[in-house]
Structure 1
């Protein structure tokens, strides 16, 4: 799930405007109808954005650009991006706030934030490290190529569209190698440990066995409605594409990354080891947390939260009668065979579906508005399962493609379920599935806001929902409650290790050791997580920062409203306007509290 913000003068001016609602004067926003000219600009911004980022259109279920894939590493694309954000920032800034409705002012503040943040990233050389093992184009394309993601394979045109899109991807692969060579010369190189994790991902697509090749998978599921002639043409076209284009491209990129690039790989773990690394990390903090917090402030907050959660974990240890210290208890939970009852991946998936069934009767009490978008639990695809985390992929805007909770099960017999209830709440219901689906389904939002994602809000909400387990009939088992504490601890640790790695010179091994001392995850899982933070600096900070803000707002509402507080109404207030910067969310809830009083 996969974006950003921070405070600007426009956001602050919006807050000032909202403060006026506390006066006894009639709020003139009530009399302002939507400015049609402004709405037209928002619509054009959205439409031009789909053309610029066609994968976003496909993900949203808009099939107009399914054959397009611009080379995002080209000079032309960078020029197009800069023009896009600069032009629309100028256009929306020209509208006076007094001419806009309250909702439009919020859209204006958000859009300007989007433009500012994206223009700011051009100050840094992100394109010189285009591939990592966690978030990168080759992983996105791999999912689409499987035929089980958002790229449709229902018509002959669909199959031809994918061939055209792959031509664009092959250009990107060639540019990626050139950018990495440029990065080596300029000092922008991945750590060696991350390069080693990318290599098997690339190697998997070098096989010439069509039956095993991911990119040939759509041919295995040709619709029965296709004519024999169409089936024959598509089969030959895909065979040619895989053997004569895809395989050579992957072999070439793998050969470079496994030799020259690996040799040049950094021994340092953090982004500070690259030119302008400290400034870039501060930009990423602002992008992902939507705040102006410093790395030191976040690091200290993390240390405080780790200490608090450890004390709660001690209580669970005592409750179950474990007599060793907390580290020994972590090891006990990790290796407890009673928490690993599965033989097959299908049993793991069924376990998550039972969690959903258990909480169903309680959902109405906490949520009186629910998404219409269908929902499914699926096993993560084999090609990326080994290094993947559990994740949620949104459904389409029209609701025809379900939201999907992907669960990696590389070894079912070693799958430990102690944290699964909190995991389901976070990634699925009422976490990402509710938040994203309700946003996409909200007809009152302009189109660009229906797919907008700020990590501090989205991940903050998802982490907040983990605390709802007891209210939803879960956490009746002390180990599942411990799982919730472990999940929260995991996010608190992120504040410490992410800032430690990227600003304080922490090594990969030092971060792994710190995590092992403070949480019950396996060393393999912790290692994958630490390498994730190394690959995408700053993103892991967003969860705890957002969660703490939402919990703070709920506590304030409960205190000030007393008996008038309604939890379902509070959740509606958080979710109804979609994803936004934390400053705007706080102002929205404050205004709601004032109006209720």
Structure 2
């Protein structure tokens, strides 16, 4: 389906990225042509030197981020001097980018420039609004990321020593985070209080486990490889228990006391981002960050309402197909409460996810020419975060399935969830980008939510083309998931720009999706505490759907679904307008994808 308003916006935004390359002067003006080539080369060299230097510096800042783990475990410096350095560095980079003659760049670097400039704008804006003073939300926390980081065993003695050094550094890291949060309290820049209940459970579990082998921070040392001599392994294990007792547990105790006694009582009682300091501008910055588009809250809200009406009409059709004679709301309640739709054991849910993933493997070559080398495991979400976690989450090497509260994990959602979180969604797209050595590192190793989540949501809809939805209930589960993401456009803007209450947001999801009540509650708290992120999914999917419709209309019988998918995946995680630009190139090349021998 073509959406003219979005199409116009996308095309306008691609002007810089896909500007025509300078043409050579007509003969006999050879010197002018040579001068033009030298200018292009100089512009490219200046740009490449700028992003290479900044990217190496940026990587040096990374700590135990779950999406960007370093080979050597280390905790980042999040103190005031480091924050000032980030602000200064990215301000200078932005100024230097503005001085580069983009028309003199090669075609490839014009695209790289558009991607890189978007990254720098987002990073700089976060520093300007001091987002680091609110370093966690209802979905993700720095202590939760750290606990996830240490779950994997170390591979050798140097790795074990580096892990021990990181654990000793936790008190410093947590103290810096606490200082940042205190600064946030002082200016009214905190997480909403209503979203904080129970979010410190993982911290309390670390303390309760004590200096024992049951503590999650002992996990890296629980199965040291035999390549380490036995005496050394024994010493490392003893050192780990001592560090957990002397450093890890006291740091968690201090953090827990701060969150319960100081932060939560001082946290704001308002919900919307527009109630934060300079809140309206802040929310607009989050819309830009998470959609890569210039859209107003009202535009997004109205788009969400229109999409919800379209999806509800399809839901009605499926409901009638299965013979349900009540209202759509009654059908939602039937799906939420009938035991036939829910697993009885965690293994039942995990096995179902594995079956769906392998079923896609049998169809993959029909829809994709290039497949990633990386494979993924299917594991349950860890117990300490499961109560507040989404139904599942995927990425390179992993598909986490939430087996907590089984009556909230319906079978009818599993096909859509698995296509989104595993293959061909996150555990497929992200490795493909990382494996594409033709892209510069800053494009291979970073993730834009609008592209990544948009692609994963597109994969849910693609499941219908691939005949993955074997029953009408499976199809309804996909439509419910589509409605869930479309409703986020309404709910996120409702909360952060229109004064919606938590109850209004929950009621909207309850009236328009088949999500369980537990999922509705955790999801709404996530949207409240993470402004704008929820917008990325459906806005991104619309960009992929519109690009596919455009390619089919232009290419006719030459349209090849594998070539289309290969084309939009080879560019990595990019601002949404560049999806459209890549499809323009695909059309200009007669529908031949980037890997013609594999089509």
Aligned 1:106-117 pairs, distance under 5 A:
106-117=111-122
Give 1:307 shift.
1.3
Contact 2:395 2:427 in 1 (8 A): yes
Give 1:7 shift.
9.1
Choose from 451, 455, 461 the match for 2:455: 461
SS at match of 1:377: strand
Aligned position for 2:577: 583
Choose from 482, 485, 506 the match for 2:479: 485
Instruction: Describe the superposition over 1:173-218 as per-residue Cα deviations: whole angstroms up to 9, x where unpaired.
Output: 1122223233223212222222213221221111126243111222
Quote the Cα distance in structure 2 between the aligned partners of 1:18 and 1:312.
Answer: 45
Aligned position for 1:328: 330
Q: Which runs of 4+ in 1 moved over 6 A?
A: 6-10, 28-34
1:375 aligns with 2:376: yes
Aligned position for 1:154: 155
SS at match of 1:410: coil
Aligned position for 2:364: 363
Instruction: Describe the superposition over 1:507-534 as per-residue Cα deviations: whole angstroms up to 9, x where unpaired.
Output: 1111111111111111111000001111
- Normalised TM-score (structure 2): 0.89
Taking a change above 3 Å as real, the CA distance of residues 469 and 59 of structure 1, as seen in their structure-2 partners, is closer
Instruction: Describe the superposition over 1:144-165 as per-residue Cα deviations: whole angstroms up to 9, x where unpaired.
Output: 1222xxxx60111111111222
Give 1:94 shift.
4.7
SS at match of 1:287: helix
Aligned position for 1:352: 353
Choose from 118, 127, 132 the match for 2:132: 127
Aligned 1:534-545 pairs, distance under 5 A:
534-545=528-539
Aligned position for 2:56: 47
Quote the Cα distance in structure 2 between the aligned partners of 1:8 and 1:320.
Answer: 42
Give 1:342 shift.
3.3
Aligned position for 2:173: 172
Quote the Cα distance in structure 2 between the aligned partners of 1:210 and 1:458.
Answer: 39
Quote the Cα distance in structure 2 between the aligned partners of 1:456 and 1:414.
Answer: 27
Choose from 100, 103, 111 the match for 2:108: 103
Choose from 215, 222, 227 the match for 2:217: 215
Taking a change above 3 Å as real, the CA distance of residues 390 and 158 of structure 1, as seen in their structure-2 partners, is farther
Taking a change above 3 Å as real, the CA distance of residues 14 and 124 of structure 1, as seen in their structure-2 partners, is same
Give 1:550 shift.
1.1
Aligned position for 1:15: 18
Choose from 68, 74, 87 the match for 1:68: 74
RCO higher in structure (CA 8 A, sep ≥6): 1
Quote the Cα distance in structure 2 between the aligned partners of 1:310 and 1:283.
Answer: 31
Taking a change above 3 Å as real, the CA distance of residues 7 and 283 of structure 1, as seen in their structure-2 partners, is farther
Give 1:436 shift.
0.9
Instruction: Describe the superposition over 1:341-387 as per-residue Cα deviations: whole angstroms up to 9, x where unpaired.
Output: 432x2222111111122233322111111111112211111221111
Quote the Cα distance in structure 2 between the aligned partners of 1:19 and 1:325.
Answer: 61
Instruction: Describe the superposition over 1:419-465 as per-residue Cα deviations: whole angstroms up to 9, x where unpaired.
Output: 11011111111111221111111111111110121111111111111
Aligned position for 1:400: none
Choose from 430, 437, 446 the match for 1:436: 430
SS at match of 2:483: helix
Give 1:496 shift.
0.7
Choose from 551, 560, 566 the match for 1:566: 560
Aligned position for 1:516: 510
Instruction: Describe the superposition over 1:37-88 as per-residue Cα deviations: whole angstroms up to 9, x where unpaired.
Output: 64444333322221122446x955752xx2432222x111112212332343
SS at match of 2:232: helix
Aligned position for 1:399: none
SS at match of 2:468: coil
Give 1:276 shift.
1.3
Aligned position for 1:190: 191
Instruction: Describe the superposition over 1:76-126 as per-residue Cα deviations: whole angstroms up to 9, x where unpaired.
Output: 111221233234345555543354321112112221222222222223132
Contact 2:342 2:409 in 1 (8 A): yes
Aligned position for 2:501: 507
Contact 2:170 2:248 in 1 (8 A): no
Aligned position for 2:277: 275
Taking a change above 3 Å as real, the CA distance of residues 471 and 128 of structure 1, as seen in their structure-2 partners, is same
Quote the Cα distance in structure 2 between the aligned partners of 1:391 and 1:77.
Answer: 34
SS at match of 2:520: helix
Choose from 253, 256, 266 the match for 1:254: 256
Contact 1:362 1:471 in 2 (8 A): no
Aligned position for 1:24: none
SS at match of 2:399: strand
Aligned position for 2:4: none
SS at match of 2:293: coil
Quote the Cα distance in structure 1 between the aligned partners of 2:518 and 2:69.
Answer: 36
Residue ranges of structure 1 left out of the alignment (5+ in a row):
1-5, 21-27, 396-402
Aligned position for 1:452: 446
Contact 1:349 1:378 in 2 (8 A): yes
Contact 2:170 2:247 in 1 (8 A): no
Aligned position for 2:401: 407
Give 1:266 shift.
2.5
Q: Which moved more, 1:211-220 or 1:314-323?
A: 211-220
Aligned position for 2:6: none
SS at match of 1:461: helix
**How many pairs are equivalent?**
570
- Normalised TM-score (structure 1): 0.89
Contact 1:7 1:290 in 2 (8 A): no
Q: What value does the CA root-mean-square deviation take over the aligned residues?
A: 2.7
Give 1:10 shift.
9.2
